[in-house]
Structure formats: C-alpha cells, structure tokens
Amino acid sequence: MTGKMTPIKNFIARFSDFKNNKKLILLSAATALLLLVAVAGISAGASAKANSKPTRTLSPASHSVLRSACSSTIYRDLCVSAVSTAAAVTGQELTSQRDVIEASLNITKIAVEHNYFTVKKLLKNRKGLTEREKTALHDCLETIDETLDEIHEAVEDLNGYPNEKKSLRQHADDLKTLISSAITNQETCLDGFSHDKADKKVRKALEKGQVHVEHMCSNALAMIKNMTDTDIASFELKSNNHHRKLMEETVAAAAVVSGDGWPEWISAGDRRLLQATTVKADATVNVVDGSTTFHSATVAVVGERFLARDITFENTAGPSKHQAVALRVGSDFSAFYQCDVLAYQDSLYVHSNRQFFVKCIIAGTVDFIFGNAAVVLQDCDIHARRPNSGQKNMVTAQGRTDPNQNTGIVIQKCRIGATSDLQAVKGSFPTYLGRPWKEYSRTVVMQSEISDVIRPEGWHEWNGNFALDTLTYGEYANTGAGAGTANRVTWKGFKVITSATEAQEFTAGQFIGGGSWLSSTGFPFSLGL
C-alpha cells in the first residue's frame, strides 16, 4: 500500500522493525505508546470532569467502520475499545475494515512487547523458581519472539493485500496462518506452567497479559477471515471461479524438481551428502525429569520450508517419563518424507503453521500426534505402542483454541495399527483415534485403513464434557476392522462425513494450500481425494 502513513503507522514504523532485528525489543517504543495512551486516557478523564466530554473522539464515520469490522469478532467490546482508544489518541481515521485490522495488530504488537518485559522481570528475579519454571519462561521468550515476527509479517501482508503474485485464496491462507500461529504461541507459553501446583504462581503472573494478546489476535483473525471470505466469494461469483480455481491449482503445482527427485535449489553436493546416511537423533529429555513438553523435543524445527527425508527422530525417554517429544515442528511449508518419528507420550508435536508428512512412520502411546498446526499426514504408518499399565493410547490430541483458526490434523490414506508389543495385549490397553486437548479440537481421518486396535467408539473425552460440543471430528471412507462407525461416539462435534465435496476441504490441496508449494519439495503427494 502506498501513500501517506497514518499517525499510528508512522509511530510504529519509527520504533519497531522486528522483521530485521527481532531480538531487539525496544522499551522506548512500548513505554512511549503505552504512556501516550495512558496519558490520553487520564487527560480525557480530567477533561470529562471539567467539560463533561473527552477532548478527542472518533469521528462518526470512523466509529461506524469500527463497529462494523468488530461485529465479526468474539471479543467485540475489546475490539472496539482497544482500537477506538488508539485511533482517537493518534487522530487516525478508520476508512475500511483493513484499517481496523491493521490498527488492532499494531496495538497487539505493543501488548506482546509488554509481555516480553514481564517474562524478563520474572527471570531476573529468579530466586525460588524451579528449573522447569525457568525453562517454561524461556519457552515464553521464544514464543513471544515468534509472535512478534508473525504480527509484523501479517501487517506487511495486509498492506499488500490483495497481492497479484498470489491468488486471493493463497493470500488469505497466509494471513490466517500467521495469526493462527500467534494465538497458538500464547497457549504454548501458559501450557508450560501446567505440570506442578507450584507452577500456578508464575502462570498467574503471566496469564492476564498472554490471554489479552490471545484475545486481540482472535479479533484480528475473525476480521481477516470475514474480509477475505467476502472477497473470495465476490471474486468467485464474478469469474465463475470453480474452473478458475482448478486452473490456478494446476499452474501452481508445476514441479521445480531435479531429475533425481530433489528440489532444484539443493546443490549436487548437498544431495550426495543427504543421500549418504540416515540420521538418528536420540534424546531422553522429558517432563518427569523437569522439562516442559515444548522444550522436551529431541529435534525442534522452526523457520520456513524445512524439508526432511529418510531421517529417524526419536526420544528414548520411555513410557514412564510422560511427555517426551521426538519431533516438534513450527515451520511453515515444512515437509517430511520417509521419516520415522518414534517415542511414547507426545511423539510428534505439530506445533503450528502448515505441514505435510508422507510415507512416514509415527509411533507412540498417549496423544502421540498433537499440536495446533494445519497438517496433513498422507500414506503414513501410524502405530500405537504398548503404554504403561493403566494408560490409554490416543493417536491424536489436536489443540485448536479458536473457531476461526485454520488448523487441524488430517490423516489421509494412512494405516493406523499397533506395534507388535501392543498387538499381543491390545485388549488390556484401549486405543482411540484421539481426544480434544483444546476447546475447538479438529481432526479428520479419511480414506485410511484402521485396524481393530481402535476401540469401536473411536474417540475419547479429555475431561468430562469438555469440548464435546465444540470440537470437529470426522471420518470419511475408511476401511479395516476398526473403521466401522455404527458404535462411534455420539458427540455433537463428531460426524461421519459422507459427502466427497465436504471431504475435499481436508485434502492437501485445500487444507494446507498444497497446490502452491508441495511440488517444490520434490516429495510425492496427492492434492485431492
């Protein structure tokens, strides 16, 4: 977007360039704007007493735009009050829904910075903190850092929306992914303080700030979804887009792959190195011995466009050590081919962003595929292992916390079964397709072979009635002794999908926008059913 910068954009631009210097979080920027808003509020209050009205308010036109934009959000009062206060202080005119979204994101960025200093203060006064609490606070610094990057990139993407280099749908998916990931980061920070009673004191010191940012991000996501859905519907109506969309997917899927199956950008020397050996990464970091789930990963992947092939990721802590992650992935457009992910509880942490696994082996016990990415697992072997006595196996524990997040776990054309140690005693260890870790948990199993290791009811509750009405669980065209749906759970959120059109929404082509990026990986994939 070109043209004169609004006052709030100019203020933010002068103090915050987190994309290029994300580790430098300036106290002056946060303090200045917070003081600016605070002083304005105090002045308005004093003026109200003297003159019965504040010195500056939004224009009727701006207020109308703001109210309309915030009408799609879950936390409407927060949306209106936060943006109206900042806009009134700076004198910004709100002329479109995009103005409101951008103002909301800029305010959110300041709140995230404030949370950073709260964490730093707790670490500075570290007397009495347990090792796990210290680890959890450092996890928070990492997720705060990621959040600042994501918000910065979202504002940049918003300024260029719609971008002619991307399809409208791709641009919308990028924006929704960035803010969905930012929401997940706030939950991840707080989840680090859920292991011991002692953790609750530190959690309480952080909770208000983290939840505030989560709610602000939720509002921005709702407005982004409303804006982009409207634009896409309008575009499709004008261009008879059913055929246009298929054409775009076909063009986007043009392969950029060398003759030997590697992406062109990987040099010949690197290909030889990568083909030379299979790497096995071992670790025993786990929650029982003082780690957080987030920090327990043998291998953690962040950044963008990470590829792995013919690698084993393993956490050897064992079933008695509870959460012990083999692989944690927060890399957008990441893909894994012929990899093994082996552990017990929480083997594969699909943390955030868009991910794809093909022809992989994933094995574990409790919640062994979990997280809040938008992920498709295709043509994989998914094996439940023998857990500890008294434990139940859960293949998935998906963690969507907001109904507008574009996240979920899709298991397509896979084989769900048991390892040999479980197969012999499967009657003693109930195994289920999943349970809802968070309120809007979303998991779809389709076109997969399900063995009789899966109980007839299929799915299990997390805690009583929690999330049973708000989750989204679906099964479509599965086969095998454990695929029968006659005795499945009767929760409001569960359904047997019978429509191919509905199932298509969860394919790699649509759910993770695979038509625009999977071909560049050099890995095999299917975009449709």
Catalytic positions: 346, 367
Closest CA to 298 of 319, 277, 320, 283: 283
- Assess contact for 79 and 104: CB atoms under 8 A: yes
194 phi and psi angles, rounded to 5 deg:
-120, 15
Q: Which residues have CB under 8 Å from 514's CB, separation 6+?
A: 356, 376, 507, 508, 525, 527
CA distance 252 to 117: 43
**Closest Cα partner for 343 from 376, 306, 384, 305?**
384
Concatenated DSSP letters of 316-355: -S-GGG-B--SEEE--BTEEEES-EEE-SBT-EEE-SSEE
Per DSSP, helices labelled H in 71-198 are 76-90, 97-124, 131-159, 168-191
Distance, in Å, from the CA atom of 355 to the CA atom of 336, rounded to the nearest integer, reads 8
Residue count (the chain):
529
The CA dihedral of 381, 526, 401, 367, to the nearest 10 degrees, is 0
In what order do the strands lie in the sheet containing 299-301? 299-301, 327-329, 348-350, 369-371, 393-398, 431-434
How many angstroms from the chain centroid is the CA of residue 428?
Answer: 35
Cα 454 from Cα 456, distance rounded (Å): 7
- Angle of helix 131-159 relative to helix 97-124, nearest 10 degrees, comes to 160
Strands (E), 380-430: 381-384, 393-398, 408-412, 415-418
Residue listed under structure tokens 């574990």: 364
What is the Cα–Cα distance from 245 to 168, expressed in whole angstroms?
Answer: 10
